Amino acid sequence: MKTATLLMLCLSAAAWAERPELSASFGFASELMTSSQYDLVSADDPLRMYRVAAAGTFAAPRGHVDVELGWRSGAASATAHGTLSSSLWVRGVDVSAGYRFAWLKHLEPYARAGVGLDWASLSLTGSSALEQTVLHPSGTFLGGLQFPFALGVGAPGGLAFVVDLGVGYVVRPAYTFDALAPPPPSGRQEDPIARGAVNLGSMPLSGFTWRLGVTVRL
Amino acid sequence: MRRLLPLLVLAACGTRGSLYTSPLKPLPLVATQGALVQVVPQTNRAVVVTGTTPYTQTVTLSSGARAAVAVPGTDTVAVLTGAPKAPTLDLVDVAGLSATVLETPGFFDTVTFSPDGRFGLLTYVAAARGGQLVARNLNEVGLLDTASLSLRRLQLDTESLAPRSVVFGPVEGARRLVAVTLERGVAVLDALHPEVPTRRISVRPQGSTGDTPVLEAVFSRDAHWLFLRVSGQDDVVAVELGSEVGAPVSASVNFVAGGRGLADIETAPEGTDDAVLAVYASSKEAFLLDARGIQDNHRRLSLTDVAAHVARMTGTTVLLWNEGSRTVTAWDVKDGRSGVVALDGVASAPLVVPALDKALFPLPQVSSSAGTGPALATVSLTDDTNRVRLHLQGVQLAQAFAASAYDAQGQRLFFSVAGSSTVVSMDLRTLQLVELALDATPQRLFYLPGTDLVAADHGALLGDVTFAPAGTSDRAGALRLSDFALSGDLQRPEDAR
């Protein structure tokens, strides 16, 4: 997928000389975590995330290439074992490239691939508070439809409002939470007692995803 | 698109299994030589915390863990596991982080180990019922040999329900007797020859038509005698055991009379093997009873106050006391010398240290010139020409004595007082005190001889323990581990799902 994206970027090399069309987007994504381990932090399967991104669009044969830089954040929480408050925060940055073409006036299918870096923070609060943050790379593969609506009376390619609906898959290595420990005490503490860590195990965080977003093309 | 959306919505809902909604109910902490072990039946894990590493380790167990017992003197924990129709015993090697699974002949409720850890006897508890089982044969026991890792079913063949207690006899050359006390009588078996049928011994006082429940059993030093204290009887039941090996042991029952209100019996000191110590609360007497009932051989001490407990000290001296009274008596059963001391307050259960000829009595309330409050009284025995002298020393406590642990090798007592997060180390030879302030109140204390650490259990459901080097006041060497019962919670064995 990455190779295909690079190929598309090369094919549109001529377009790079032109000023890219810029866009900003905001969207909601739901990643479906079907592993039993995810039940520790959620009563259902989705990991709900919000995402903001900025993109540059370049002309390509029969369509456009979007190069996007995004930031996403989401969380799930639940009560575990009847006594613990458990929560999982996932935050990440990603860079993606996608190809889209105009099929109808208001319909642009697209395919997109991206790589990112995600931080997952697991915290358990019972008689004490334990937490651990683990960092891993991620990959996202999406296909979907964009519904552009021109704003104003300018020529095509001017200011536009776009509704984006995509489905795909997010790949992450399993996150190993092997050292959940209380957070370090705030402030200076006299003669503190060292705290040990708990090895909880691994939580798979890959799964199908769908996105719904809005984009403003400048 | 219209078809895809409902699918996505449905997929987004998902359901939550019961894996993380059911409460974790860990079994009580078990201390081995160098670690604390917490068995979590819901995750099929034995969580090992040592205090020497800042993280937890786990051993995967068979499902259905319901009781855990440390094998004395080892780093092994025996865990009763399995289902009622497929019961098992997991022997967890804490040092090697592995488990050996043995099939057990019954869905037993508990296991009692010999003091040397060589044998374990798996028994039922009548009140425990049996899960889904419709019927249980409470007269069967399982004999575990930890040396050969063999487990054998034995049939006690008595009229009683489940055993009340298990007492292992002393180590002999060719046999190792085990007494199983019952609602009706006692059964004796040879752990080294489990193929030999069990000897059932009825305890039926003269004129009685039924057997009497056994309350306490002690072997003599040479396993020639088994002494029983039975319900409603002032006589000590002396069972003379034959020396058979490879055949059911012969038993001759004799009732030995002493005083009135038999409260406690104890193995007689060295050199008096054909005798048993007995203390009588009603008649305020202590006896060294001749096992054959020869009155002339009895030795008797008349007490100034009620005593209900007796313990051997060094040599031929014994200590007598009663929880709830102030008087402590020492008696040399050989030469008849004795001595008495009055505590400053009412005694509660003491820690007796025979090797040092000392006993420590927590006193909930004492009145002295320093005011009223709890104290810890140390009674030390010293020899005088005409009597046994009891030397009394007191340690003032801020609050009532709470948890304690004992280091037999180093002769140290570790204790805490109610409502305080401090653990006190007391050198029993010098009575020197060292205090270590922790961050939470200990509910129980453990001493781990393998690593010379004291572990304070703060009593949290999912585990909260502070380890500290024994006898130090320095917090720098301490380590606290919390919520460690959650270890491996994300790595459930397949059969737990």
Mean pLDDT across the stretch B212-231?
Answer: 92
Q: Count the helix, strand and coil residues of chain B and give each as a percent rounded to the nearest 5.
A: 5, 45, 50
For residue B8, pLDDT over 50 is answered with: yes
Is the minimum CB–CB distance between A42 and chain B shorter than 8 Å?
yes
Mean pLDDT across the stretch B434-461?
Answer: 95
Residue B450, pLDDT score: 94
Is the minimum CB–CB distance between A174 and chain B shorter than 8 Å?
no
Q: Residue B50 half-sphere exposure, CB side, CA atoms within 13 Å?
A: 16
Chain B interface test: which of A85, A128, A198, A211 (most B C-beta within 10 Å): A198
Whether residue B364 is contained in a domain is answered as yes
Give the residue with greater pLDDT, B19 vs B29: B29
Residue B496, pLDDT score: 44
What is the residue type of B392? L
Counting Cβ atoms within 10 Å, is residue B240 exposed (0-12), middle (13-18) or buried (19+)?
middle
Q: Verify that B250 and B267 share a domain, yes or no.
A: no
Q: Verify that B211 and B163 share a domain, yes or no.
A: yes
Q: Which residues contact A188 (CB under 8 A, 6 or more apart)?
A: none
CB B240 within 8 A of CB B248: no
Kindly report, residue by residue over B165-210, the tens digit of the pLDDT.
999 999 998 899 999 998 888 999 999 999 999 998 888 777 776 7
Is the minimum CB–CB distance between B24 and chain A shorter than 8 Å?
yes
Residue A201, pLDDT score: 92
Mean pLDDT across the stretch B104-116?
Answer: 94
User: Rounded to an integer, what distance in angstroms lies between the CA atom of residue A131 and that of residue A122?
Assistant: 6
User: Rounded to an integer, what distance in angstroms lies between the CA atom of residue B490 and that of residue B52?
Assistant: 24
Q: Verify that B192 and B296 share a domain, yes or no.
A: no
Of B285, B185, B280, the C-alpha closest to B231 is B185
Whether residue B141 is contained in a domain is answered as yes
Q: How many CB atoms lie within 10 A of CB B150?
A: 11
Mean pLDDT across the stretch A96-107?
Answer: 90
Q: Verify that B309 and B221 share a domain, yes or no.
A: no
Q: Verify that B236 and B116 share a domain, yes or no.
A: yes
Q: Verify that B204 and B128 share a domain, yes or no.
A: yes
**Length of chain A measured in residues:** 218
Whether residue B11 is contained in a domain is answered as no
Band the pLDDT of B380: cuts 50, 70, 90.
very high
- Give the gap in angstroms from C-alpha A12 to the nearest C-alpha of chain B: 30
- DSSP code per residue over B107-162: --SEEEE-TTSSEEEEE--GGG--TT-S---TTEEEEEETTTTEEEEEE---SSSS
Give the residue with greater pLDDT, A2 vs A158: A158
Residue with tokens 């420990």: A181
Q: What residues of chain A lie within 8 A of the CB of B438, using their CB?
A: 193
Kindly report, residue by residue over A162-202, the tens digit of the pLDDT.
999 999 999 999 999 999 999 887 766 778 899 999 999 99
Distances (CA, A) of A188 to A192, B359, B405, B439, B478: 9, 44, 33, 15, 18
Distances (CA, A) of A163 to A148, B8, B135, B171, B225: 6, 18, 68, 84, 92
Chain A interface test: which of B60, B474, B489, B497 (most A C-beta within 10 Å): B489
CB A141 within 8 A of CB A168: yes
User: Rounded to an integer, what distance in angstroms lies between the CA atom of residue A88 and that of residue A121?
Assistant: 6
Kindly report, residue by residue over A32-90, the tens digit of the pLDDT.
998 889 999 998 889 999 999 999 988 888 889 999 999 999 999 999 998 899 999 99
Nearest 10 degrees: CA dihedral of B379, B297, B204, B209?
-120
Choose the final residue of a domain: B343, B369, B397.
B397
Name the residue of chain A whose CA is nearest to B438's CA. Answer: A193
Strand segments, DSSP code E, in chain A are 21-32, 46-60, 63-80, 84-100, 108-125, 129-150, 160-171, 175-177, 194-195, 201-203, 207-217
Is the minimum CB–CB distance between B9 and chain A shorter than 8 Å?
no
Q: What is the CA radius of gyration of chain B?
A: 26
When divided into structural domains, chain B yields a total of 2
Cβ–Cβ gap B16/A78 under 8 Å: yes
- Give the gap in angstroms from C-alpha B57 to the nearest C-alpha of chain A: 7
In chain B, residues 279-318 whose CB comes closer than 8 Å to chain A: none
Distance of CA B142 to the CA centre of its chain: 19
Whether residue B295 is contained in a domain is answered as yes
- Give the gap in angstroms from C-alpha B22 to the nearest C-alpha of chain A: 5
Mean pLDDT (chain B) is: 89
Is the minimum CB–CB distance between B55 and chain A shorter than 8 Å?
yes
Mean pLDDT across the stretch B341-361?
Answer: 92
User: Rounded to an integer, what distance in angstroms lies between the CA atom of residue B412 and that of residue B406?
Assistant: 6
Residue with tokens 């930890």: B146
- Our CA angle for B37, B40, B41, nearest 5°, is 135
Choose the final residue of a domain: B378, B397, B416.
B397
A123-132, B60-69, B126-135: segment of lowest average pLDDT: B126-135
Q: Verify that B290 and B389 share a domain, yes or no.
A: yes
Q: Verify that B284 and B371 share a domain, yes or no.
A: yes
Residue A12, pLDDT score: 47
Is the minimum CB–CB distance between A85 and chain B shorter than 8 Å?
no
Of A37, A126, A197, the CB nearest to B490: A37
Band the pLDDT of A1: cuts 50, 70, 90.
very low
Residue A184, pLDDT score: 80
Band the pLDDT of A7: cuts 50, 70, 90.
very low
Q: How many CB atoms lie within 10 A of CB B5?
A: 11
Residue B296, pLDDT score: 78
How does strand A129-150 pair with strand B214-219? unpaired
Residue with tokens 């092997």: A178
Cβ–Cβ gap A178/B460 under 8 Å: no
**What's the domain range around B146?**
104-256
Residue B10, pLDDT score: 47
Residue A192, pLDDT score: 87
Is the minimum CB–CB distance between A179 and chain B shorter than 8 Å?
yes
Q: Verify that B213 and B322 share a domain, yes or no.
A: no
Of A30, A36, A196, the CB nearest to B12: A30
B420-423 LR contacts (CB < 8 Å, sep 24+) = B423/B454, B423/B456, B423/B468
Whether residue B267 is contained in a domain is answered as yes
Q: Verify that B117 and B209 share a domain, yes or no.
A: yes
Q: Which residues contact A13 (CB under 8 A, 6 or more apart)?
A: none
For residue B495, pLDDT over 50 is answered with: no
Of A141, A166, A191, the C-alpha closest to B1 is A166
CB B44 within 8 A of CB B488: no
Residue A18, pLDDT score: 59
CB B430 within 8 A of CB B412: no
Residue with tokens 């069967």: B140
Q: Quick check: helix, strand or coil at residue B258?
A: coil
Cβ–Cβ gap B19/A36 under 8 Å: yes
Tokens for B76, please give them.
């092994």
Q: Which residues contact B2 (CB under 8 A, 6 or more apart)?
A: none
Is the minimum CB–CB distance between A39 and chain B shorter than 8 Å?
yes
DSSP B356: G
Name the residue of chain A whose CA is nearest to B48's CA. Answer: A198
Whether residue B34 is contained in a domain is answered as no
Q: What residues of chain B lie within 8 A of the CB of A195, using their CB?
A: 54, 479-482
Q: What is the CATH number of the domain that holds B205?
A: 2.130.10.10
- Give the gap in angstroms from C-alpha B159 to the nearest C-alpha of chain A: 44
Whether residue B88 is contained in a domain is answered as no
Q: Which residues contact A144 (CB under 8 A, 6 or more apart)?
A: A109, A110, A112, A164, A165, A166, A167, A168, A211
- Give the gap in angstroms from C-alpha B233 to the nearest C-alpha of chain A: 50
Q: What residues of chain B lie within 8 A of the CB of A126, using their CB?
A: 460-462, 483
Kindly report, residue by residue over B261-292, the tens digit of the pLDDT.
999 999 999 888 899 999 999 999 999 999 98
User: Rounded to an integer, what distance in angstroms lies between the CA atom of residue A156 and that of residue B492?
Assistant: 57
For residue B32, pLDDT over 50 is answered with: yes
How does strand B479-482 pair with strand B464-469? antiparallel
Name the residue of chain B whose CA is nearest to A211's CA. Answer: B8
- Give the gap in angstroms from C-alpha A41 to the nearest C-alpha of chain B: 9
Q: How many CB atoms lie within 10 A of CB A13?
A: 10
DSSP B197: P
In chain B, residues 450-489 whose CB comes closer than 8 Å to chain A: 460-462, 464, 466, 475-476, 478-484, 486-489
Q: Verify that B247 and B304 share a domain, yes or no.
A: no
Could you tell me what percent of chain B has a pLDDT over 70? 94
Q: What residues of chain A lie within 8 A of the CB of B9, using their CB?
A: none
Choose the final residue of a domain: B397, B420, B451.
B397
- DSSP code per residue over B428-456: TTT--EEEEE-SS--SEEEEETTTTEEEE
User: Rounded to an integer, what distance in angstroms lies between the CA atom of residue B2 and that of residue B166?
Assistant: 72
User: Rounded to an integer, what distance in angstroms lies between the CA atom of residue A19 and that of residue B459?
Assistant: 67
Q: Verify that B295 and B390 share a domain, yes or no.
A: yes
Name the residue of chain A whose CA is nearest to B481's CA. Answer: A196
Of B415, B493, B483, the C-alpha closest to B454 is B415
Tokens for A71, please give them.
């930031």
Q: Give ipTM to 2 decimals.
A: 0.81
Query: Could you tell me the domains of chain A?
Result: 2-184+195-217 (2.40.160.20)
